[in-house]
Amino acid sequence: MAVKRPVFTENFSANLTDIEAFLGVEGTHAFKRLFKRLADNVIPTLCRFPQSGRQFFAHAIHSSEARSLVRKLRRRLEPSDDLREFIVDDYLLLYLVRGEQIVLLAINHHRQLSFDLKGFWLQAG
């Protein structure tokens, strides 16, 4: 299997900035550790083994609102797209396996609110 190429969305970069602000001055060391881990380990691993993360749509859906949102999300994806999530310490990384690319969509600290992909889909559409 060929190694996939990482693509960083503006949303992913903005999330990193948000995490840095969220952690504050006291969290400078933790942010640097996250950034180094992403660059040295996580992203190269996902590029070599793109199915390392859990399939995003494997989650049980318990509400009609969530089912509706999942349907909308699936319509935005290409048939061969594979939306996945990967846990990195205290962070959840959302990525898309698309062709020869690993598209890094979002990353959040587990204490932050959920992913906001509205800007990504407006940009990608």
For residue 122, name the pLDDT band (cuts at 50, 70, 90).
low
Our count of domains for the chain comes to 1
Residue 69: what pLDDT? 87
> 115 phi and psi, to 5 degrees?
-65, 140
Specify the CATH number for the domain of residue 44.
3.30.2310.20
Half-sphere exposure of residue 67, counting CA atoms within 13 Å on the CB side? 4
Residue 112: what pLDDT? 74
Quickly tell me which residue has 């800007």 as its tokens.
Answer: 119
- Per residue in 14-54, pLDDT tens? 999 999 998 999 999 999 999 999 999 999 999 999 999 99
Residue range of the domain that includes 110? 5-124
Longest CA–CA span in the chain (Å) reads 44
Residue 49: what pLDDT? 96
- Per residue in 76-114, pLDDT tens? 999 999 999 999 999 999 999 999 999 999 999 887 765
Closest to 8 measured CA to CA, from 79, 101, 100, 78? 101
Residue 120: what pLDDT? 57
For residue 115, name the pLDDT band (cuts at 50, 70, 90).
low
